[in-house]
């Protein structure tokens, strides 16, 4: 059974051949100044018999506290009108990397955008976050090296392909190793590394893809949650301030699979393993909360508006 071991880079996800666990799943943050800035995204790798490890770019409580101080300071200085962010319509450029076989079809890309809108619109359960995604264009780039080793060539292909500013989502698909599901940048990284802003996902995680248990498009939903400023539901474990969202109960560690019940922290309620910001199998994920919706709007106003 493949269980993940994690690594830190811009929000990297990881998968095992034949199936994954997104703690096994999700993330990688870019290296360099991003690490120094307390960046996140989670890079996970999976190996047979391995037990969950520490994601290299998972924020420590100290790093998260620093991010929150900056966020609160920026929010206080915003004009009142800008703090009250209404409905958000996010333009999306999807960049399909391939090695000559074309990559995901246009229909698959449209299904992914539909999955994003269903998840963020509360149509699978939970809160309507007020965020909608609008596909502007799909580009296709034939480059076998980029396709097969997106981590190594990330800066190169993003420098050439990225479109728009802080409020534009650039979503890249690639082949990747089968133990990697994807990664994302965080909004507060944009100022120091704008070229690295965006989300990279394994092409097999699009709806109907080949990555078993992660084939409903929710790897992109999860990673874009980071791009919008959400932490994992298990941030800080049972202690500290958690994910800074009051309506997600404290959670000691990521969820793998789709359990019938899970409660890892005494008091506060059962683990929110149906939340898109946990590591559950796609079929287990169905919700964002009202608190997460409020947080991502606050972060958008501070960093992406």
Provide the annotated active-site residues. 223
DSSP string for 114-166: HHHHHHHTTBTBS---SEEEEEEEEEEEE-HHHHH-TTTTHHHHHHHH--S-T
How many Cα atoms sit within 13 Å of 108 on the Cβ side? 21
181 CB burial (10 A radius; 0-12, 13-18, 19+): buried
Q: Give the HSE-up count for residue 205: Cα atoms under 13 Å, Cβ half-sphere.
A: 40
206 contacts 244 by C-beta, under 8 angstroms: no
């Amino acid at each position: 059974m493949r269980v993940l071991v994690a690594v830190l880079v811009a929000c990297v996800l990881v998968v095992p051949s034949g199936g994954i666990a997104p703690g096994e799943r999700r993330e990688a943050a870019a290296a360099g100044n991003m690490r120094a800035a307390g960046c996140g995204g989670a890079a996970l790798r999976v190996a047979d018999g391995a037990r969950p490890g520490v994601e290299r770019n998972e924020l420590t409580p100290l790093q998260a506290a620093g991010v929150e101080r900056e966020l609160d300071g920026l929010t206080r200085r915003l004009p009142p009108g800008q703090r009250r962010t209404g409905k958000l319509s996010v333009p999306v450029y999807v960049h399909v990397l391939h090695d000559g076989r074309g990559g995901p079809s246009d229909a698959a890309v449209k299904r992914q955008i539909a999955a994003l809108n269903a998840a963020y619109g509360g149509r699978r359960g939970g809160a309507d976050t007020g965020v909608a995604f609008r596909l502007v264009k799909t580009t296709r780039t034939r480059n076998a090296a980029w396709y097969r080793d997106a981590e190594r060539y990330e800066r190169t292909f993003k420098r050439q392909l990225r479109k728009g500013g802080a409020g534009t989502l650039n979503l890249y698909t690639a082949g990747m190793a089968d133990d990697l599901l994807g990664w994302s940048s965080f909004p507060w990284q944009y100022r120091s590394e704008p070229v690295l802003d965006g989300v990279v996902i394994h092409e097999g995680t699009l709806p109907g893809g080949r990555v078993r248990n992660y084939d409903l498009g929710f790897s992109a939903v999860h990673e874009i949650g980071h791009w919008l400023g959400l932490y994992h539901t298990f941030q800080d474990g049972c202690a500290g301030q958690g994910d800074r969202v009051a309506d997600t109960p404290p959670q000691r560690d990521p969820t793998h699979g789709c359990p019938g019940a899970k409660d890892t922290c005494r008091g506060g309620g059962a683990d929110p393993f149906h939340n898109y910001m946990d590591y559950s199998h796609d079929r287990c994920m169905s919700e964002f909360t009202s608190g997460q919706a409020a947080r991502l709007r606050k972060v958008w106003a501070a960093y992406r508006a």
